Amino acid sequence: MRYEVDWSILARPELAALLIDGVRYTMIVAAVSTGVSLVLGTALAIARVSGSGWLRWPAELWVNLARHIPGVFWVLFFYFAFPELLPATWGSALNGWTSFALAAGIVALSVDNATYVSDIVRTGALAIPRGEWEAARCCGLSPWQQWTCCLIPVTLRTVTPPLANRTIHNFKNSSLCMVIAVPELTWATQQIESLTFRGIEATLVATLFYVTVALALGVWARRLERGGYRHWRGAGAVWRRERGELARVDSRR
Amino acid sequence: MSAELLRFLLVGGWPDGAPGGLLINLALFTAAFLIGLAIAVPLAVMRLAGPPPLRFAAAAFVELARATPLLLLVFWSLFLLPLAVGGYPNPLASALIGLAVHSAANQTEILRAGFAAVPAGEVEAGLAAGMSRFQTSIHIVIPQGVRRMVPAHFSFAVSLFKDTAVVYVVGVVDLLQAGLIAAERRPSEILTYYLAVAACFFLASFTITLAGRCIERRWSFARPVAA
């Protein structure tokens, strides 16, 4: 079998529009679901390291359940099965909503990514030395202040590089939304394939886009890992200097 | 849910007809993991110790494959396989190739990171003690590197198993597709089928996690290596 590559189809306005819209939807899905999963994952992580069993056990149970279920299942679940869980009038209202596929895809990716975010944030929070938790408590800060003024800012610095890597995964996972016909980039390439039988050209363009963005995010993540220390101020940098890590990083530079 | 439909979710039409359901996910996972490992070992050696052109080629393959969404890897093999070997597009073979490329690239990175994490002082100590480069690799780098990469390898195995679910997009009747077919046949029981599919995925991938924890405990650094 032979395949004649024909780039002119990408110049056809209706097909080019599919790809351009695809890029737009991919960015929307990836950005919003990453944002939501950061909030959701951090909340889950706080629940998992908190002293209260009422918060800890449900969060642990949920994370261990969700970690073992595929992302594409969540996408289908929120689109097809979730409306059935609601009262009939709400369910049909959701099904009639034109942006429902987009919303379901974003919720599904957020749920999927939040599990990994919570693992990363939990590891970061557990890496804070005990003395620092105790110091926050001894200063007479309320639990809310302990978190917002001391523990979250310190944790944020350790978890930023792994979170950046996770964001790359979530960006690539946005392609899963094609299964519920969210018009993102992967869906657009399949649409062009079924309209013109010229999938290879469109898929090549899409692959270039994904690879460029993923590699650029990767370079950014590596820079955070290496050079991030320089910009760090405050408690995080101080305890790291005590542990000799700052010296090691400086000598490498 | 009838016993017949539950069987359809687990093994498809097997043994009388075409296999499907969870059986396909497990088969794809096993094959993609092993093929990936078989490709990853030479690639990791190339990346760590190969001559510069090979090192660059291996790095380029790993970076490209890791930056491409798995779905696109599967679509690429669906497009390119008929061009390479002729015939009609084969969804199952394409799914396997896509998963194997994804698995090879990620396992190469895990192997590379594991071996690179062995402290340079250990290698220098081996060389200073009069061991050859080869002996240093066999007796010092590999035993420590392999232990270091066990957690990463098992968490990748879990994610590879979960990723086998995307093959339903190209029309392979895996567990997810079987669940969708069953739910379409009986729309009133849609929640039952989604729950059954989630439970099957959970049990299978949780087993991988448990196996990983078991091996991690056995191979942990706490216990000295038997000489």
Residue A112 lies in domain: 7-252
Amino acid at the residue A194: S
Residues from chain A contacting residue B205 (CB–CB below 8 Å):
68-69
**pLDDT at residue A252 greater than cutoff 70:** no
Q: What is the pLDDT of residues A135-188, one digit of tens each?
A: 888 888 888 888 777 777 777 778 888 899 999 999 999 999 999 999 999 999
**pLDDT at residue A245 greater than cutoff 60:** no
CA distance B177 to B165: 9
Q: What percent of chain B has pLDDT over 90?
A: 63
**pLDDT at residue A250 greater than cutoff 50:** no
- For chain B, give the secondary structure using H, E and C: CCHHHHHHHHHECCCCCCECHHHHHHHHHHHHHHHHHHHHHHHHHHHHHCCHHHHHHHHHHHHHHHHCCHHHHHHHHHHHHHHHHCCCCCHHHHHHHHHHHHHHHHHHHHHHHHHHCCCHHHHHHHHHCCCCHHHHHHHHHHHHHHHHHHHHHHHHHHHHHHHHHHHHHHCCCEHHHHHHHHHHHCHHHHHHHHHHHHHHHHHHHHHHHHHHHHHHHHCCCCCCCCC
Do the Cβ atoms of B198 and A218 come within 8 Å? no
DSSP annotation of A198 reads -
CA distance B193 to B187: 10
The answer to whether residues B176 and B162 touch, using CB atoms and an 8 Å cutoff, is no
Q: What is the pLDDT of residues B133-153, one digit of tens each?
A: 889 989 999 888 888 888 899
**Is A219 a member of any domain?**
yes
**pLDDT at residue A235 greater than cutoff 50:** no
CATH number of the domain to which A81 belongs: 1.10.3720.10
pLDDT, position A232:
45
Chain-centroid distance of CA A1 in Å reads: 40
CA distance B197 to B209: 18
Do the Cβ atoms of A176 and B71 come within 8 Å? yes
pLDDT, position A137:
83
Do the Cβ atoms of A203 and B72 come within 8 Å? yes
pLDDT, position B216:
87
Q: How far is B23 from chain A (nearest CA, A)?
A: 16
Average of per-residue pLDDT across A224-240: 53
Residues from chain B contacting residue A80 (CB–CB below 8 Å):
183, 190, 194
Amino acid at the residue A208: L
Average of per-residue pLDDT across B159-175: 94
Q: Record the tokens describing residue B52, joined without a space.
A: 């510069």
pLDDT, position A249:
46
- What is the tally of structural domains in chain A? 1
The answer to whether residues B132 and B189 touch, using CB atoms and an 8 Å cutoff, is no
DSSP annotation of A79 reads I
Question: Which phi and psi (to 5°) does residue A52 adopt?
Answer: -85, 125
**pLDDT at residue A227 greater than cutoff 80:** no
| Alpha-carbon dihedral angle through residues A79, A85, A90, A94, given to the nearest 10 degrees | 0
pLDDT, position B221:
60
Kindly list the structural domains of chain B, giving each domain's residue range(s) and its CATH number in brackets, ordered by start: 3-218 (1.10.3720.10)
CA distance A101 to A99: 6
Closest CB to A84: pick one of B66, B72, B190: B190
CA distance B92 to B174: 10
CA distance B175 to B74: 18
pLDDT, position B1:
65
**pLDDT at residue B101 greater than cutoff 80:** yes
The mean-pLDDT minimum among A138-152, A210-224, B119-133 falls in: A138-152
The mean-pLDDT minimum among A204-208, A223-227, B91-95 falls in: A223-227
**pLDDT at residue B227 greater than cutoff 70:** no
Contacts of A182 (CB under 8 A, 6+ apart): A25, A29, A101, A102, A105
pLDDT, position A231:
45
**pLDDT at residue A105 greater than cutoff 70:** yes
Average of per-residue pLDDT across B50-70: 94
The answer to whether ipTM exceeds 0.95 is: no
- pLDDT band at A1; cut points 50, 70, 90: low
**Is A186 a member of any domain?**
yes
Q: Which residues pair with B21 in a beta bridge?
A: B174
A136, A232, A234, A246, B19 from A241: Cα distances, Å = 19, 11, 11, 5, 58
Question: Which phi and psi (to 5°) does residue A141 adopt?
Answer: -75, 145
**Is A117 a member of any domain?**
yes
Residues on B contacting A at a C-beta cutoff of 8 Å: 63-64, 66-72, 75-76, 79, 82-83, 86-87, 158, 162-163, 165-166, 168-169, 176, 180, 183, 190-191, 194, 197-198, 201-202, 205-206, 209
Residue A178 near chain B (CB below 8 Å): yes
Alpha carbons within 13 A on the beta-carbon side of A222: 6
Residues from chain A contacting residue B202 (CB–CB below 8 Å):
65, 68-69
The mean-pLDDT minimum among A22-36, A211-225, B212-226 falls in: B212-226
Question: Which phi and psi (to 5°) does residue A233 adopt?
Answer: -125, 155
Do the Cβ atoms of B68 and A172 come within 8 Å? yes
**pLDDT at residue B226 greater than cutoff 90:** no
Contacts of B222 (CB under 8 A, 6+ apart): none
The answer to whether residues B12 and B19 touch, using CB atoms and an 8 Å cutoff, is yes
**Is A193 a member of any domain?**
yes
Task: Give CA angle at A95 (A90, A97), nearest 5°.
Answer: 95
Residue A215 near chain B (CB below 8 Å): yes
Q: What percent of chain A has pLDDT over 70?
A: 89
The mean pLDDT of chain A is 86
**Is A47 a member of any domain?**
yes
Q: Of A103, A118, A104, give the one whose Cα is nearest residue A45.
A: A118
**Is A2 a member of any domain?**
no
Which of B105 and B219 is assigned the larger pLDDT? B105
pLDDT, position A50:
81
pLDDT, position A228:
52
**Is A1 a member of any domain?**
no
